[in-house]
Structure 1
């Protein structure tokens, strides 16, 4: 049976962020994820997790200047020192929160980038990932990379599942894994059942995420057949978390009817 984690950056936005932990627990979630913890002290976040019986399953390393449009640093030439300092900060939070997974966002490539510049981005990406994976291994943390669709995030360095798996194989670190967001994957390449059956058995996929396609609302409408896909996930023996990373159509709790199939009528 899938283990669903509430993404507190997108769900329960009708509450202030610290109050979202209680709301998620009240709706039966046992795990949470969100984009970034750094606006809050780690000790305070840990108290929220513990007081509501929640596990922190994922967050992102610092992405650069998010408000200015940056979407990660890992592939950006000339920003290596900042990217690596961000990894160190993320690992400090991971230790405090008991979180075993951190997502490293790759960053954006200029639309008019030459092949030579794109090659530099890839070289920087591989070098930073290798360095970060070594640091994270010493802390018992897995690092994740995620292909993201170009409609929602134009210019993002990593788009396709095969590209992500090639990077993981090339770096060759046991704790570098792929974050498979079925929403992004459906938009970019589709064929989700075949993708799951191809990639989950490799052991390189450490985290799944879901949302309805095309509008990124609850996963009970649109192009995804969630029950079928979660059946495939169960069939393949996946034991990780499934992050609920979508924008509710209305109130978060009111839109959780899709969970009844997995939790019973009390969900």
Structure 2
């Protein structure tokens, strides 16, 4: 059965961030993920993980000025030193303290007037450097294609592009986040991509949400239970991050919306 991780940047919005760990554990999640931990002391987050028996599945490396509209800096010219500083001084120390084995490096928005080939060269060089820093600590560096509807101008949009980057960089600990929500919007054919990419070992994490509204995965056009069964058949043993916006964002809305997860567990237990 897939191991599900609650995305605390989206789920349980009625709670403060540090209180979301208890809420996720109470709903039976084994793990958590989120965008960024840096507004909170790593030791405080680690204590919440320990108190509630949770695994830290994933978080993002520093993305530049997120509040100012930046969406990563890994492909941006002239930002290499900033990227390296953020990865060394923030991402890796937090990963150590939290026992996290996956750090997502956000590519960034492609700047106007710069050739794509130049951006890709910078991106690959930054990823090769980050993977080399992370490898001795047993940490995977992840990259994620994101659909241009939610994030116009994002550098990386397709799974084949991401896997080509991983192959070109050639680092064993550089892997791809396969987010079914983004992939369905951009290219579809989700099951065949599982057959194609899972055997390569290049898929480091999976994320889910209903399409098109990005709500619970029991709504929309993706047959999530069928794909969960396929994950089991193909032997995927990583985490599945629940990165969606609850239909009801009010108190108790996240928990009420987890009927899909309770049904899946009940059915899996009877299998």
Q: TM-score range by the shorter chain?
A: over 0.9
Q: Give the Cα–Cα distance (whole angstroms) in 2 for the partners of residues 249 and 81 of structure 1.
A: 41
CA offset digits 1:200-246 (Å, max 9, x no partner) = 11110010000000000000011110111111111110000000000
Q: Give the Cα–Cα distance (whole angstroms) in 2 for the partners of residues 252 and 25 of structure 1.
A: 13
Q: Give the Cα–Cα distance (whole angstroms) in 1 for the partners of residues 178 and 171 of structure 2.
A: 18
1:194 to 167, 192, 214: 192
2:209 to 203, 208, 211: 211
Where does the alignment leave 5 or more consecutive residues of structure 2 unmatched? none
| Corresponding position of 2:118 | 120
Q: How does 1:45-124 map to 2 (within 5 A)?
A: 45-88=45-88, 89-110=90-111, 112-114=112-114, 117-124=115-122
Q: 3-state SS of the aligned residue for 1:223?
A: coil
Where does the alignment leave 5 or more consecutive residues of structure 1 unmatched? none
Shift of 1:129: 0.5
Alignment RMSD: 1.0
| Corresponding position of 1:15 | 15
Paired residues of 2:225 and 2:264 also in contact (CA < 8 A): no
Q: Give the Cα–Cα distance (whole angstroms) in 2 for the partners of residues 201 and 136 of structure 1.
A: 23
TM-score by length of 2: 0.95
| Corresponding position of 1:27 | 27
Q: 3-state SS of the aligned residue for 2:77?
A: coil
Deviation beyond 6 Å, 4+ runs, structure 1: none
Work out the number of aligned pairs and report it.
Answer: 262
Shift of 1:64: 0.3
1:38 aligns with 2:57: no
| Corresponding position of 1:259 | 261
CA offset digits 1:39-96 (Å, max 9, x no partner) = 0000000000000110101000000000110000111110000011111110000000
| Corresponding position of 1:158 | 156
| Corresponding position of 2:182 | 184
Q: Give the Cα–Cα distance (whole angstroms) in 2 for the partners of residues 145 and 57 of structure 1.
A: 15
CA offset digits 1:7-34 (Å, max 9, x no partner) = 0000001111111000000000010000
| Corresponding position of 2:230 | 232
Shift of 1:261: 2.6
